[in-house]
Structure 1
Amino acid sequence: MRRFLTAVLACLGITATALVATPAYATGFSTYGSGVNVRSDAYLSSAVVRTLSGPTSIDVDCQKHGDRVSNSDGTSEWWAHVPALGGYVTVVYISVPEDKLPGVPECGTDNPPPADGDITLADVQAMFGTRIANPSIVETGLPSLNQAMRDANINTPYRKAAFLATLVHESRLEYNIREIGDTRLYGGRGYIQLTGDFNYGPAGQYFGIDLLGNPDLAMSLQWSAPIARWYWTVARNINPYADNLDMGRVNAAIGYPAGAEDQRRCDSFKNAIRYLTGSVPSGVICTRPSPLKGDTSKLTRTQFDALAKNGGGLG
């Protein structure tokens, strides 16, 4: 009801804030409510570029599928790109009855998205060889996985190598895989093999989906890659370890006890770096500091960060 009333007011030109000159290619709408964030991208983890103090007239040039946002009026996974504000506003706070803006094109549909830097099936086969056991499944998931990497700023050879080496050992880079023999309700699923109600619960809350009630969503094409991105950047902060070539801490952050698997993953990390850069740099760290040799899977991010710091190296 509030969205409808605000839409009527917007049609009459009654808004708290107005923006100048509607570009010819844009469509005018109005937000409602106060404290609505404008983010740099269509994800709740993206930086807030400004906050709207009240209902605001906006000119939208395209809309993008992103994180789900809910309020008392509804739910939407669509975000409006507002050039004048330099970012995206969730459609759930735009005064329209629909959950996707009518008459507004999807961002990037006029031109194919840039492929520069995207990982291909040939790339991962060259990096990891026979670990790519089901190429067709891997290839099907790669568009969503590449998007997740962009969203997580996994945009350097070291970060890509660490992320892909982790996932190839967790899931063989198959988005829909279930941990073999694991019959637990919240056993390993998806790219990152999400495990435990202590992960399913927060991940579901982050995306606005009921992962506790429907854990198989974690191995769906829609959610497997975003959940891997969530774990890499929200449940843990793993990119800095990759930047330092510290595969020991990367492995600890994934949450299993130290052992022979650490070296296998480190070897895959080196193979990926060699493929991406042409050589393996000196200084790759394959072992963990003592505080991180146990099972760290149930630690909060704060607890893990404290142990990782106490182990020396970063920070």
Structure 2
Amino acid sequence: MLKRTLSAALALAGLGAGSLIAATPAHAVGFRTTATNLNIRSDAFLSSSVVKVLAGPANVDVDCQKAGDTVTVAGRPATRWWAHLPAHNGYATVAYLDTPGDKLPGVPECIVDPNPPTGDVTLADVQAMFGSRIANPTLVNTGLPSLNQAMRDASINTPRRKAAFLATLVHESRLEYNIREIGDTRVYGGRGYIQLTGDFNYGPAGRYFGIDLLGNPELARSLQWSAPIARWYWTVARNINPMADALNMGKVNAAIGYPAGAEDGRRCDSFKNALRYLTGSVPSGVICTRSKAYEGDTSKLTRAQFDALGQAPGTVG
């Protein structure tokens, strides 16, 4: 059984795994933004929620910086560094700060709480989280070693990320690695943990792993490939970990790719059950519904197209 690694204080504060845990420098460093309507995000990822839109250019204080999604702006070097702005409680990409390089000079890297659980997920764990949804315990147990490896490879290593990932898979496949979507006779119909669907997913996933999924789609529900494909979708086809960090299960569901409806609530309930098991409580701020931009079926969108849905018109970063 997983140890409950989040403290009660952390849970009550609603802080995620990426939250700052060390004291910030006594003196922040001043910079100036170079954009109007700059998105300040909850974490250093383009898929992270926008906590504020900062009109500008404006003077800002930066207490630390962390690596995240790469941003490229014309005339500037590409940068994966994001500045933490304590006065605005969020992160801005360094691409829109007045510095010539890709990283801020004189600013330390942020110290974050990795919050790693102390053990892999067991059959007893998922049964406690999801009850009767675990319909075939023997089959689920057979797949758990490969699934735990995929979770390690995908940095699904905090209670929030594990809860979101497992809640998603238990609704997609009952955590059965070799399941085929019932009644789906399409060549590229749903298969495996993540129910990989469509040639637009089989093709890129196959190329990523160097296997011919288009020519042999049954590989998607093999013990060898089902879990890695779920990891690929979670981190490559989409960037879902930051959504889990933000407790935004509505956006997680949109990223999986089906229209909004009653299923969103059921999956969010499973997410809460898993969080309760893993941490002893459900933090405030869980988001079960989707914003209007994510209400439709997003399954055929590329990652860039999906990420663009959350970008407010006229904003950058």
Residue 129 of structure 1 corresponds to: 131
Residue 276 of structure 2 corresponds to: 274
Residue 242 of structure 1 corresponds to: 244
Q: Deviations over 1:19-74 (max 9, x none)?
A: xxxxxxxxxxxxxxxxxxxxxxxxxxxxxxxxxxxxxxxxxxxxxxxxxxxxxxxx
Residue identity opposite 1:258 in structure 2: A
Structure index of larger Rg: 1
For residues 235-314 of structure 1, the aligned pairs below 5 Å read 235-310=237-312
Q: What is the CA-CA distance between 1:185 and the residue it aligns to?
A: 0.3
Matched positions, count: 199
Cα contact 1:249–1:308 (8 A) shared by 2: no
Work out the CA distance in 2 between the residues paired with 1:259 and 1:137: 30
Gaps of 5+ in 2: 1-116
Q: What is the CA-CA distance between 1:117 and the residue it aligns to?
A: 2.0
Question: What TM-score do the two structures reach when normalised by structure 1?
Answer: 0.62
Give the counterpart of 2:214 among 212, 215, 221: 212
Question: What TM-score do the two structures reach when normalised by structure 2?
Answer: 0.62
Residue identity opposite 1:237 in structure 2: N
Gaps of 5+ in 1: 1-114
Q: What is the CA-CA distance between 1:116 and the residue it aligns to?
A: 3.5
Residue identity opposite 1:157 in structure 2: P
Work out the CA distance in 2 between the residues paired with 1:231 and 1:136: 25
For residues 1-315 of structure 1, the aligned pairs below 5 Å read 116-310=118-312
Work out the CA distance in 2 between the residues paired with 1:267 and 1:139: 23
Identical pairs, percent: 85
Residue identity opposite 1:129 in structure 2: G
Q: Deviations over 1:261-293 (max 9, x none)?
A: 000000000000000000000000000010110
Residue identity opposite 2:263 in structure 1: E
Residue 50 of structure 1 corresponds to: none
Work out the CA distance in 2 between the residues paired with 1:201 and 1:153: 24
Residue identity opposite 2:246 in structure 1: N
Q: Deviations over 1:195-218 (max 9, x none)?
A: 000000000000000000000000
Work out the CA distance in 2 between the residues paired with 1:309 and 1:209: 34
Q: CA 1:131/1:209 → structure 2, altered by over 3 Å: closer, same or farther?
A: same
Name the SS for the 1:188 alignment partner: coil
Work out the CA distance in 1 between the residues paired with 2:312 and 2:166: 27
Q: CA RMSD in A?
A: 1.5
Work out the CA distance in 2 between the residues paired with 1:149 and 1:308: 26
Q: Deviations over 1:89-142 (max 9, x none)?
A: xxxxxxxxxxxxxxxxxxxxxxxxxx9420000000000000000000000000
Q: CA 1:123/1:256 → structure 2, altered by over 3 Å: closer, same or farther?
A: same
Q: CA 1:117/1:308 → structure 2, altered by over 3 Å: closer, same or farther?
A: farther
Name the SS for the 2:298 alignment partner: coil
Name the SS for the 1:176 alignment partner: coil
Residue identity opposite 1:142 in structure 2: L
Residue identity opposite 1:181 in structure 2: G
Higher RCO structure (Cα 8 Å, ≥6 apart): 2
